[in-house]
Structure 1
């Protein structure tokens, strides 16, 4: 077999994205990938049951207009301000493909969503990574560094992953006004923010350079469906919608189910509130075990394992995994003493707390017999 490589040079150097573990061969308590602990709206089940398979012989509506109209209604913007995508990740790729030249700079924080630098490398662009402060806030010179590197696009995940810290609207408005490129505010976790007045949609659609990313994977319990959408001014949405988007990027089933889930705001909001309440309880319980937990506005908590703990964060991760409980451990320099824990159901959180306490007390990762 020939050993000749056909990959582009930047792809050959790429390590690739490492997703959280998704086991299917054994029952686990799964608190590692920030999925919803509760199912999506019951109306989605009804829509599945009533879906007419006759329609599958036809291509779907190319631009998901009904879903976009529903999203526009929910957010009180025009349909022209919305683009529907195959998960939020497709929107990230579209933004880079449409607005970033190969060799140009893309700004982001450190740490951040680990897919950003990978998609940037695929575009053959350069990463400008700016370390966050100790409290996970933006450094005071963030916009000046972005400007100095002439970043054509900047990613901010808000609430931040993996800390859960929320950046306020005024800070983001100022940031957008201070940089020359596009500001992408990734709001994958915004549904879990406690302050219901936090809403950037009008800021985005009336701006020159802000695009918001939304997803149905977290707050709507549809991670398995892969539907997301972007909100922004029409001059930024239009070229992605009509020039760089894949043809028929959302299938007919996804469009219909996503529309139903998004329209059922009453159910979705009830789930968000349950997650917020469980987040508060889980934070208190983790702190009672001696872990340091940063206040989170997301559906996860970032817990720091103190030096006096007999087990490291990595050892706790491995010990929990041996007990069929999955949380997320990162090898990033600033995260090696931390675990990111998705807020589960109250029963899942109690199960985690019990085994975490047992591990910390025993100082051993060996599984109980």
Structure 2
């Protein structure tokens, strides 16, 4: 007899990207990590860590980290909630603001974790399809009127941004919450942060996983009206962010010159990789993230190509999702890694 709650027994759950063992020689281009190390300020914090920070419980309000975020983004700390990655904050949003049976809306293809979180909460996930040209389905999302609407911008795996005009139209006309997931915001020039000040139903999510090279740390934050932040804090774990993560995160986010330097390197590499993949016959979509969505030449199946690359020590991501099942998402690595990818692809093709 299964002990799992009945409504969870038929849920597949979210499947993260493959993680090779530490020390592996695999070229990992499947989960959109930053190819460059974190800020040197991060290592200075670790080298001077006071053991007392390990003995004691961490600050449950993460005030020092919220102050650092506020300084960089010009936001009062009362407008900021910190979580164990932005994934935790996505879960908190659904738990706090979506009743069982209510709908969580999001366009697809997008981050399929939204679906898993909604199902666990017994909410109804409603996926609004992009058209074949990947145009944002604004009218359909407005018509759906969910308790919460998730919009990833830039969107993975598509790489596109949602225009500020479309986001503001949603904020002004949705009866429920609008959550703008800006995990890849460091790689684009637009963001929705100002909408938080204008609309009380908007939450912007950020992470230190991508631009700050801290995916292993699990640290993200939400920016919203203080009333929404207080509601999120009611249900969060008292000590969701550990003391080391808070110290390291504050050091990393304050080192904007280092982060911006790495971002510029990624953007240059992205342009070169786009050019080289197109020269190999791939269709490559424009991207505002640290990855590219590509379609192999017609006679080559995307899933087969992914497996062939894996056998040769290179991981890329395939999604069995309508609209992108014939495509691959490739993280932008270092120029050397990208060159090895293209060399293997040329050999295979």
Could you state the TM-score of these two structures normalised by the residue count of structure 2? Answer: 0.97
Q: What does the per-residue CA deviation read over 1:112-142, in whole Å, with 9 as the maximum and x for residues that have no partner?
A: 1111100000000001111012222212422
**Structure 1 runs, 4 residues or longer, greater than 3 Å off:** none
Alignment of 1:117 with 2:115, yes or no, is yes
2:40 aligns with 42
2:201 aligns with 209
Contact 1:88/1:214, CA 8 A, preserved across alignment: yes
Contact 2:130/2:137, CA 8 A, preserved across alignment: yes
Contact 1:81/1:205, CA 8 A, preserved across alignment: no
2:210 aligns with 218
1:299-338 maps to which residues of 2 (within 5 A)?
A: 299-307=290-298, 309=299, 311-338=300-327
Task: Note the residue ranges of structure 2 that are not aligned, 5 or more in a row.
Answer: none
Q: Cα distance, 1:332 vs. partner?
A: 1.6
1:235 aligns with 227
Contact 2:106/2:141, CA 8 A, preserved across alignment: no
Q: What does the per-residue CA deviation read over 1:57-99, in whole Å, with 9 as the maximum and x for residues that have no partner?
A: 1111101001001111111111011000000100001100110
1:290 aligns with 281
| Secondary structure of 1:284 counterpart | helix
Alignment of 1:199 with 2:191, yes or no, is yes
Distance 1:140-1:97 versus aligned 2 partners, 3 A rule: closer
2:175 aligns with 180
2:139 aligns with 141
2:2 aligns with 5
| Secondary structure of 1:218 counterpart | coil
Contact 1:143/1:178, CA 8 A, preserved across alignment: no
Partners of 1:296 and 1:176 lie apart in 2 by 24
Partners of 1:238 and 1:333 lie apart in 2 by 37
Partners of 2:217 and 2:322 lie apart in 1 by 33
Could you state the TM-score of these two structures normalised by the residue count of structure 1? Answer: 0.92
Alignment of 1:161 with 2:153, yes or no, is no
Distance 1:22-1:227 versus aligned 2 partners, 3 A rule: same
Q: Cα distance, 1:54 vs. partner?
A: 2.3
1:279 aligns with 270
Alignment of 1:344 with 2:333, yes or no, is yes
Contact 1:279/1:300, CA 8 A, preserved across alignment: yes
1:365 aligns with none
Alignment of 1:152 with 2:111, yes or no, is no
Partners of 1:130 and 1:143 lie apart in 2 by 7
Q: Cα distance, 1:206 vs. partner?
A: 2.8
Contact 2:109/2:322, CA 8 A, preserved across alignment: no
Q: What does the per-residue CA deviation read over 1:288-308, in whole Å, with 9 as the maximum and x for residues that have no partner?
A: 00100110000000001231x
More off after superposition, 116-125 vs 170-179: 170-179
Partners of 1:178 and 1:142 lie apart in 2 by 12
2:250 aligns with 259
Q: What does the per-residue CA deviation read over 1:216-256, in whole Å, with 9 as the maximum and x for residues that have no partner?
A: 01110000000000011111111112x11111111100100
| Secondary structure of 1:141 counterpart | helix
Q: Cα distance, 1:5 vs. partner?
A: 2.0
